[in-house]
Chains A and B, each alone.
Chain A
Amino acid sequence: DAGVTQSPTHLIKTRGQQVTLRCSPKSGHDTVSWYQQALGQGPQFIFQYYEEEERQRGNFPDRFSGHQFPNYSSELNVNALLLGDSALYLCASSLGGGRWYEQYFGPGTRLTVT
């Protein structure tokens, strides 16, 4: 049973560039959430996708956007990168419905903005 997978593992970008991160959910899951985790901090919720639509959003600017595909995989896009965007980006999948909060996390993508 494949768990949540993310790609790439590490990424280095320059200020002002754009980046796309990818996530494949755990088998059987249909909901994908994205989180940003700064070093030594707890993850902060960016947004959640279900049925190919953004259902919930945290306090992140419009530079952060996403997409969910019919196979439930998802992408996180960040435009006009800032130094402060350097973080571990986590994807979590769950089964929509009553127990949406039981999320399984991927290993994350470490983004460094220079």
Chain B
Amino acid sequence: TQLLEQSPQFLSIQEGENLTVYCNSSSVFSSLQWYRQEPGEGPVLLVTVVTGGEVKKLKRLTFQFGDARKDSSLHITAAQPGDTGLYLCAGAYYGGATNKLIFGTGTLLAVQP
């Protein structure tokens, strides 16, 4: 059973601070995604990383896929209140007839103005 553990579970910070969210698994994933979900809405895809060691940047957000494709991190620089939400990582596993997208446990981020 593939499991994705995210840490921390909750994070409350002040506007302007930096933060890192971690996503860890004992399984190897074919690719990994990060989503942000706001209350009452579905998750919105932020990025997909495919190659071990890959780093992608999206404005103030930096995503990294671990070399062994078992873990990932999301770093936010100078957080803003608009960054508030539930951050979810999701690992894609596909092997022939079996395709799965496994979601992590989530990190709830609150950025105080």
> Which residues of A come within 8 Å of B, CB atoms?
4, 33, 35, 40-45, 48, 55-56, 58, 90, 92, 100-108
Contact = CB atoms under 8 A, between A and B. Distances in A.
A42 B45 contact: no
Interface of B: 4, 30-31, 33, 35, 40-45, 48, 86, 88, 90, 92, 94, 98-106, 108
Contacts of B4: 42
Nearest to A55: B99
A100 B45 contact: no
B101 A42 contact: no
Nearest to B108: A40
Contact of A43 (B31, B40, B43, B100): B43
A42 B106 contact: yes
B103 A42 contact: yes
Interface majority SS (helix, strand, loop, mixed), chain B? strand
Given A45-B100, A101-B30, A105-B43, 13 more contacts: A4-B42, A42-B90, A42-B103, A42-B106, A43-B88, A45-B102, A90-B42, A92-B42, A101-B31, A101-B99, A102-B33, A105-B42, A106-B42
Interface majority SS (helix, strand, loop, mixed), chain A? loop
Most chain B CB atoms below 10 A, which of A43, A101, A102, A106: A101
B92 A101 contact: yes
A104 B98 CA distance: 20
Given A101-B48, A102-B48, A45 B43 contact: no
